[in-house]
Amino acid sequence: MTDAAKPVTTHALVAMKAEGRRIVMLTCYDALFARLLDASGVDLLLVGDSVNQVLAGEDTTLSARLDQMIYHTKIVCRGAQRAMVICDLPFLTYQVSREEAIRNAGRAMAETGCHAVKLEGGVQMAPTVRALVEVGIPVMGHIGLTPQSVHALGGYRVQGRDQEAARRLKRDARALEAAGAFAIVLELVPAPPAAAITKSLTIPTIGIGAGPRCDGQVLVLHDMLGLNERFKAKFVKHYAKLADSVKDAVRAYSDDVRSGKYPDSSHSF
């Protein structure tokens, strides 16, 4: 864990990698969970465009909008004290032009108070990353399975299985580092190439389905807590079964209301 008294910064993350300290990252979409995660010592809170699937019930992240991301990032920032808050830039907010990327990322930073943005893509997005960094916007990269390109990739599939694909991923990672990204998410990448990429960089890698040798790990909060019963993936470890707890609690509440047990005199004025 990083120093509980100090806010997590981009420089702190690079130092954590150099010192071999693992980085903890979770998605977060609201102030209440932000307070809980921050108090639990989580280093990075990613306001992912996965909110479009987890909370909005969409099949993909593609229809997420900038206003939606700004709303959720702003309320996460209200709950975070120490953790770094990162706003995911949604589809088509940074791909059209570098000028539009700067405008949209700058708006996200200004209106939410977040500490950084995240975008998907490797070599082809490196010039955009550089443009953002040059105007003072910290950028986290994201390669491997990039959900905003799910249809082009042929679905949610592991990336980098063969040698040439693994070499492309390493080139992507190095291009993002050279462009000034402070960290890179590796999603659905086999463990060996993920380890090789991690070793080749001076900036940290954050894995999700990318094996144990990344500098840190990220999971979707609702998956890790066992709240999302519909999503099952090999890389997800359930640290709780809160879907069962929620259903049990709601059934008990419903029974008490229907039987007249709640509210009783102790819950009345």
Give percent of the chain with pLDDT exceeding 70. Answer: 99
Number of folded domains in the chain? Answer: 1
Within a domain: 52 = yes
Structure tokens at 260: 């007249």
Q: What is the pLDDT of residues 214-253, one digit of tens each?
A: 999 999 999 999 999 888 899 999 999 999 999 999 999 9
Domain residues for the domain of 164 are: 10-238
Over residues 184-213, mean pLDDT: 98
Within a domain: 261 = no
Over residues 85-100, mean pLDDT: 98
Domain containing residue 93: CATH number: 3.20.20.60
pLDDT at 230: 86
Is residue 16 pLDDT above 60, yes or no?
A: yes
Within a domain: 254 = no
Within a domain: 27 = yes
Residues making up the chain, counted from first to last: 269
Over residues 52-60, mean pLDDT: 95
Q: What is the pLDDT of residues 94-136, one digit of tens each?
A: 999 999 999 999 999 999 999 999 999 999 999 999 999 999 9
Catalytic residue positions, numbered: 187
Within a domain: 23 = yes
pLDDT at 4: 61
Averaged confidence pLDDT in the chain: 96
Within a domain: 38 = yes
Within a domain: 95 = yes
